[in-house]
A and B are shown apart, each in its own frame.
Chain A
Amino acid sequence: MASFSSRDRHLDASSGREVVFCYQCRHEWYRDQHADLACPLCDNQAVEIVDPSNDPRDLPENSPSTAFSSAFSRRRRPDVDSDHEDDDIGDHFRPGSFPGTFGRQRPDRGAPGGPDGGDVILRRFADLLMNDLGGARPPRAQPDPFFPFRTGGNRDEDHDHFGMFPPSGPRPSGSPATYRHTTFRSGPVTGTATFTFVSSSNVPEGAAPPGFPPGFPTLFSQIMSNATPPPERDGRPAGSPGPRPMPPDGLNFASGLHEILASLLNPQAAVHGDAVYTQEALDRIITSLMEANPSSNAAPPASQTAIDRLEKKKIDDAMLGPEGKAECTICIDELKKGDEVTSLPCTHWFHGECVILWLKEHNTCPICRAPIEGGQSSSSGSGGTQQPSASQSSTSQPQAPRQPEYRRPLFTSRPERPSRNPQENAERLAALRNLGNSLSGSATHSPVRRNSLSPSSTRDQAPTPIRRVRSPSPSRDRPVGDSQYDGGDGPGEGSRTQARDNRNRSSQGGQSGRDNHGGAFNWIREHLTRSYNSQSDRDRDRRR
């Protein structure tokens, strides 16, 4: 567990006494020393109670191993919201900045504390490519806190089975699609970019990721075996290992790297498995999907239970038209009084066998297209309106006299969260903005105390004069699934928000705040070209 007691000028947050940290003047004090939650020195109220696993102070000795163990200790807290989709977003934004490491959710990532930190970076990159971008294996959505950390040094084995780390933990059943969030953060040198990949894995385990160029795993394992740790970066703690023995030539690595980058960065080919990186690639996928399945945007089939639930009744005088005649609009056969028909919630009725044939394909009424099931609203969202069609005029069907029953909430599967009222939302928003302002130096005095470990449910919070402000969590207020798949507000939006958030915090941490909007590719470019350059440098040196 992270213990900072020995470090000068930082108070030990894990000793049982609460440490409070002032964002304005960076002063720290024990909470019990100073009752008021405002800085005793500068009177600023943008203060935070330091949690050992989530330390806002930039501790220079904050090594990856500390960071990871604290991340995992956070994981072990049993009271943490068990909804992984929600909590993992906040997870990755610990204010401390760890040079070049990934904040990962899976605890079996292995070897964070291994001595060769550079190797860890490359491993994680490979892991990312193979697992997260390729969707080659099912996600481990629920972390297994008891999986022991692998220690480094098992490289040969790692290369043999390319998955690097054996899967642990069963795939959660019952969830049709699972999303994985992979968040990177880069350290002080490379600026502060944070970006999140979100991918859902529909590919069965063992299946080849469809988007991979042939021989990709081979290629990559070759690179991995030739790769050396990336160069030491400035500010990297002493004690990291010296360069490992050089491979005979850096050419394989160079060419392999080139190919990877080409396949990653070429907008045409920016597709790996079920992840795409460019609008162009996404458009192409959508186009091909639409062409492959032209009726895909038609209403989905109705479930058997919904069909079974439909009301059956005998035709009575009221159902016959004024001329005393009626017909099933599907087969245009005449119906007589006393015939049994199946009636839909919209009160349109048909021969049972006729309408079932249709409902097995689409869950909407053959006449007015009102959905027959509340939860399965279809593309014809205008369920409430009944539009008489041209053909209806020739029939003598009754016209839905009673209130249709299909108007139920769209998303009933998710337990309802207490929704915040608009005013509270506005306040939270304002508080967040103020936090950002005070972080970037302007002395905004707002009663803000940020603690990203605050309970995830607003219900648990006792009313307190000081508002808590959590890291924004894009999926918090939205139904599951919604945030992932709707076009404009999907994962990209979320990661952007997070990137902004992170920039704010990191820049206050006194790190080089180079604005890094470029996202993943900048990071990859920077780290890998750096690694390659230094390697060829060293090769040259050695040959001399």
Chain B
Amino acid sequence: MASQKRIAKELGDCTTSPPTGMSIALANDSDVHKWHVTLDGPPDSVYAGGKFGIIVTLPAEYPFKAPVVTFATRIYHPNITNDNLGNICLGLLKPENWKPASRLLSVLEAVRALLIEPQPDDPLEGRIADEYRRERKEFEKNAKSYVTRYAKGPVKFDAPPAAAAPANAP
């Protein structure tokens, strides 16, 4: 199975020399199609100090279909849905943009780059994007408060973050 072989290779590459600020593990040792990635909030970004869980799901058709990347940890970001789904908008992963030559390493690096520099022109959360553009201070305050609220402590992948910490919790 070409797919399994490639994934195993990529996993090997990613675990031996992981992308900056990330650690990678399989959700389940018998299934190479689901990765759990822990991402340290990039220093100098509003997410610094937080630990974010990212779930990477590789479709059976990988590498011919793009992997699905979601945030398991809630995050206040223009390009990541502000709910317990944590969908992420990444051009690289869109069906019309995906190509088999792209690798998970570059995908993960793109996710990290998105935390350092949000793309408010292609938002999933229009309100947050507006805030990011117009009231940067307010945005930073909110983002940091989300980090304190959700991204501290051990990263949880399985429990939906909203259940672990309701949105309106203090």
List chain A positions with a Cβ less than 8 A from chain B. Answer: 294-295, 297-299, 329-333, 353-354, 357-358, 361, 364-367, 369, 379-380, 389-392, 394-395
Asked whether, in the complex, the Cβ of B109 is within 8 Å of the Cβ of A331, the reply is no
Q: Which residue of B lies closest to A378 (CB)?
A: B96
Of B6, B9, B96, which one neighbours A299 at CB under 8 angstroms? B96
Binds A, one of B28-36, B99-107, B132-140, B144-152: B99-107
20 residue pairs from A and B, CB less than 8 Å apart:
A297-B95, A298-B98, A330-B2, A331-B5, A331-B6, A332-B6, A332-B10, A353-B2, A357-B2, A357-B64, A358-B64, A361-B64, A364-B99, A366-B99, A366-B101, A367-B99, A389-B99, A390-B102, A391-B102, A392-B101
Asked whether, in the complex, the Cβ of A391 is within 8 Å of the Cβ of B9, the reply is no
Once A379-B96, A380-B96, A390-B106 are accepted as A-B contacts, the answer to whether A329 and B5 lie under 8 Å apart by CB is no
Asked whether, in the complex, the Cβ of B106 is within 8 Å of the Cβ of A298, the reply is no
Interface residues of B in 106-157 (CB under 8 A from A): 106, 109
Asked whether, in the complex, the Cβ of B100 is within 8 Å of the Cβ of A330, the reply is yes
Asked whether, in the complex, the Cβ of A391 is within 8 Å of the Cβ of B6, the reply is no
List the B side residues contacting A298 at CB < 8 Å: 95-96, 98
Q: Does B50 contact A (CB under 8 A)?
A: no
Taken together as a complex, chains A and B put the C-alpha atoms of A379 and B96 apart, in Å, by 8
Of A333, A358, A361, which one neighbours B5 at CB under 8 angstroms? A333
Chain A binding surface, main DSSP class: loop
Taken together as a complex, chains A and B put the C-alpha atoms of A364 and B102 apart, in Å, by 14
List chain B positions with a Cβ less than 8 A from chain A. Answer: 2, 5-6, 9-10, 63-64, 95-96, 98-103, 105-106, 109
B122 CB to nearest chain A CB (Å): 15
Taken together as a complex, chains A and B put the C-alpha atoms of A294 and B101 apart, in Å, by 21
List the A side residues contacting B6 at CB < 8 Å: 330-332
List the A side residues contacting B64 at CB < 8 Å: 357-358, 361
Q: Which of A332, A333, A391 has the most C-beta atoms of chain B within 10 angstroms of its own C-beta?
A: A332
Q: Which residue of B lies closest to A351 (CB)?
A: B2
B100 CB to nearest chain A CB (Å): 4
Asked whether, in the complex, the Cβ of A391 is within 8 Å of the Cβ of B96, the reply is no
List the B side residues contacting A391 at CB < 8 Å: 101-103, 105-106
Asked whether, in the complex, the Cβ of A354 is within 8 Å of the Cβ of B2, the reply is yes
Asked whether, in the complex, the Cβ of B95 is within 8 Å of the Cβ of A295, the reply is yes
Taken together as a complex, chains A and B put the C-alpha atoms of A365 and B102 apart, in Å, by 12
Asked whether, in the complex, the Cβ of B101 is within 8 Å of the Cβ of A367, the reply is yes
Taken together as a complex, chains A and B put the C-alpha atoms of A330 and B86 apart, in Å, by 29
Extra contacts besides A367-B101, A379-B96, A390-B103 (14): CB < 8 Å = A297-B96, A298-B96, A298-B98, A329-B100, A330-B2, A330-B6, A331-B5, A331-B6, A332-B9, A332-B10, A354-B2, A366-B99, A369-B99, A389-B102
Q: Which residue of B lies closest to A360 (CB)?
A: B64
Asked whether, in the complex, the Cβ of A331 is within 8 Å of the Cβ of B2, the reply is yes
List the A side residues contacting B10 at CB < 8 Å: 332
Taken together as a complex, chains A and B put the C-alpha atoms of A389 and B99 apart, in Å, by 10
Task: Rank and list the top 4 A-B pairs by shortest CB-CB distance, nearest first.
Answer: A295-B95, A298-B96, A366-B100, A390-B106
List the A side residues contacting B95 at CB < 8 Å: 294-295, 297-298
Once A330-B100, A361-B64 are accepted as A-B contacts, the answer to whether A390 and B109 lie under 8 Å apart by CB is yes
List the B side residues contacting A299 at CB < 8 Å: 96
Taken together as a complex, chains A and B put the C-alpha atoms of A395 and B96 apart, in Å, by 23
List the A side residues contacting B106 at CB < 8 Å: 389-391
Asked whether, in the complex, the Cβ of A330 is within 8 Å of the Cβ of B63, the reply is yes
Taken together as a complex, chains A and B put the C-alpha atoms of A369 and B105 apart, in Å, by 20
List the A side residues contacting B99 at CB < 8 Å: 364-367, 369, 389
Taken together as a complex, chains A and B put the C-alpha atoms of A298 and B66 apart, in Å, by 12
Taken together as a complex, chains A and B put the C-alpha atoms of A332 and B63 apart, in Å, by 10
A453 CB to nearest chain B CB (Å): 47
Once A358-B64, A361-B64 are accepted as A-B contacts, the answer to whether A330 and B101 lie under 8 Å apart by CB is yes
B25 CB to nearest chain A CB (Å): 21
Taken together as a complex, chains A and B put the C-alpha atoms of A391 and B100 apart, in Å, by 10
List the A side residues contacting B105 at CB < 8 Å: 391
B136 CB to nearest chain A CB (Å): 29
